Amino acid sequence: MATYLEVLMTAFVNHDATLQGGMRDFDDSSLVRSYLAGEERAFSELVRRYEKRLQNFVFRATGDTSRAEDLVQETFLRVVRHLHRFDHTKKFSTWIYHIASNLAKNELRNRSRDPVVLFQRLEDNKRDDERQIQFVDPKGDADRLLKLHEHQDLISQAVRVMPVHHKEVFILREMADYTYEDIAVITQAELGTVKSRLNRAREAFKAAIEQMGFDYIEGPL
């Protein structure tokens, strides 16, 4: 029986093998069952589906590309260790994001500072289901809007002062487009708490952006 680490490393290097097995047509729960039944390619497919998305999420939460990669690997290691405990009545996506979210929060707690850099894209991970914040320049100056996107350190200032749990729901909702219900599962918070935290985060973000001379609106690009 392969060790957890061996399974994980095999999954990271064998993404393409899942194509031949037709596992891209499986839903997440079916992949979990297949892996538990002995089909290691199923876990490779789960890694393929979630690796880049989680790296994007964790990077936006921590602002550190290298640590994001490490934390995502730790996420998958914990997943493979505890996959037998997965509740198939729940969404696999919310379960794995909950694990990644906890690791990201622990990382921030261990730092003397916790920059969050928004709008940093992993170019090979541009997905249709991702959603980003929109900005409108009230003066209609395209050059100023471009400058805003180019100077990501200015954007990070808008969320840097947020409490960690506000940043968390803000990124999950505004950047990853998760539903309130899924965010509640990921963060293990009441639905009303999620909405309250998100409202406060949006207000703080909106105020910061407007101070830069831009209007903030919600919705997909």
Q: Is the pLDDT of residue 215 over 70?
A: no
- How far the first Cα of the chain sits from its last, in Å, is 47
Output the CA angle 164-199-206, nearest 5 degrees. Answer: 90
Residue 100 within a domain? yes
Q: Quote the pLDDT of residue 64.
A: 83
Q: Quote the pLDDT of residue 136.
A: 45
The last residue of one of the domains, among 115, 131, 153, is 115
Judge whether 218 and 201 are in contact, CB under 8 Å: no
Q: Show the tokens assigned to 217.
A: 């609106």
Q: What is the mean pLDDT of residues 82-98?
A: 93
In tens, the pLDDT along 127-177 reads 333 344 444 444 445 455 445 454 556 666 677 678 888 988 988 888 778
CATH number of domain containing 192:
1.10.10.10
In tens, the pLDDT along 24-73 reads 889 999 999 999 999 988 999 999 999 999 998 888 788 788 999 999 99
Statement to judge: residues 13 and 72 lie in one domain: yes
Statement to judge: residues 79 and 15 lie in one domain: yes
Judge whether 71 and 100 are in contact, CB under 8 Å: yes
The pTM of this model reads: 0.65
Q: Show the tokens assigned to 107.
A: 């990382």
- Full residue range of the structural domain in which residue 170 is found: 143-220
Q: Is the pLDDT of residue 194 over 70?
A: yes
The residues that bridge with 58 in the sheet, in sequence order, are none
Q: Quote the pLDDT of residue 74.
A: 95
Within 10 angstroms of residue 36's Cβ, the number of other Cβ atoms is 13
The residues that bridge with 217 in the sheet, in sequence order, are 134
Q: Quote the pLDDT of residue 124.
A: 31
The residues that bridge with 215 in the sheet, in sequence order, are 136
Residue 136 within a domain? no
Q: Quote the pLDDT of residue 164.
A: 84
Statement to judge: residues 3 and 108 lie in one domain: yes
Q: Quote the pLDDT of residue 134.
A: 46
Q: Is the pLDDT of residue 1 over 70?
A: no
Q: Quote the pLDDT of residue 50.
A: 94
Q: Quote the pLDDT of residue 15.
A: 56
Statement to judge: residues 91 and 151 lie in one domain: no
Question: How far apart (Å, rounded) are the C-alpha atoms in residues 148 and 144?
Answer: 6
Statement to judge: residues 101 and 210 lie in one domain: no
Rounded mean pLDDT of the chain? 75
The residues that bridge with 134 in the sheet, in sequence order, are 217
